[in-house]
Amino acid sequence: MAGVRDSSSTKFAQFKLVLLGESAVGKSSLVLRFVKDQFDDYRESTIGAAFLTQTIALDDSTTVKFEIWDTAGQERYKSLAPMYYRNANCAVVVYDITQAASLDKAKSWVKELQRQANENIIIALAGNKLDLEAKRQVDKSVAEAYAQECGLLFFETSAKSGENVTELFTAIAKALPLETASTRQRATPKGVDITRPSRRAPAASGGGCTC
């Protein structure tokens, strides 16, 4: 859901953002750092999805509000994901730089988003746990090249230290088409009933990354 309110001196835009990725890559920790500037070493796995909000001031006259859906990474919740990314304006697909398999999972999420989500969705790829550099298994240049090929924003982050977390969400906010947000609000549903799946199958969009 997206919308813009204008006044003589200020602009306020609201967008739906979803986080996707394998379990334990740090999606919830990234959101907690972004929203509350906190980190919890013993954070439990998300069940279903969690909802949070946060605003970013892009400049003195422009504020972006994110409505954030933090989805569970466990395989048993995968079928619920379309309820959260359908009609999302932007997505953060997260992998763990210390787990090579998590990047493969992230790539599958990117393909799914490009195939089934809003065709104008802004996607960012985030390699989390940068504080564990000594245990790195995913080369930054490899992930960055993949992101560039697929037209994704790319950041390596640390939810624990806070490194690049604000920068990640700020880059997404800057990439969103604020000028067309009000039009998109009229063209899309105002909300999603998360108590049951939608009966309408998501429409496939053309293009998409083949890597």
DSSP string covering 28-83:
HHHHHHHHHS---TTPPPPSSEEEEEEEEEEETTEEEEEEEEEE--SGGGGGGHHH
Q: What is the H or E stretch that residue 169 is in?
A: helix 165-175
Distance (Å, whole) CA 109 – CA 101: 13
Domains located in the chain, CATH noted = 3-187 (3.40.50.300)
Q: What is the mean pLDDT of residues 116-134?
A: 97
Prediction pTM value: 0.81
95 by DSSP, 3-state: which? strand
Nearest-5° Cα angle at 14, 13 to 18: 140
- Ranking 122-126, 145-149, 165-169, 184-188 by mean pLDDT, the lowest is 184-188
- Confidence label for 202 from pLDDT (cuts 50, 70 and 90): very low
pLDDT, greater one: 190 or 89:
89
What distance in Å separates the CA atoms of residue 23 and residue 73, rounded to the nearest whole number? Answer: 4
Element (H, E) at 137: none
pLDDT above 80 for 194: no
More confident residue, 188 or 56: 56
Q: What percent of the chain has pLDDT over 70?
A: 74
Could you tell me the two tokens for 88?
A: 């999302």
What three-state secondary structure class fits 123? strand
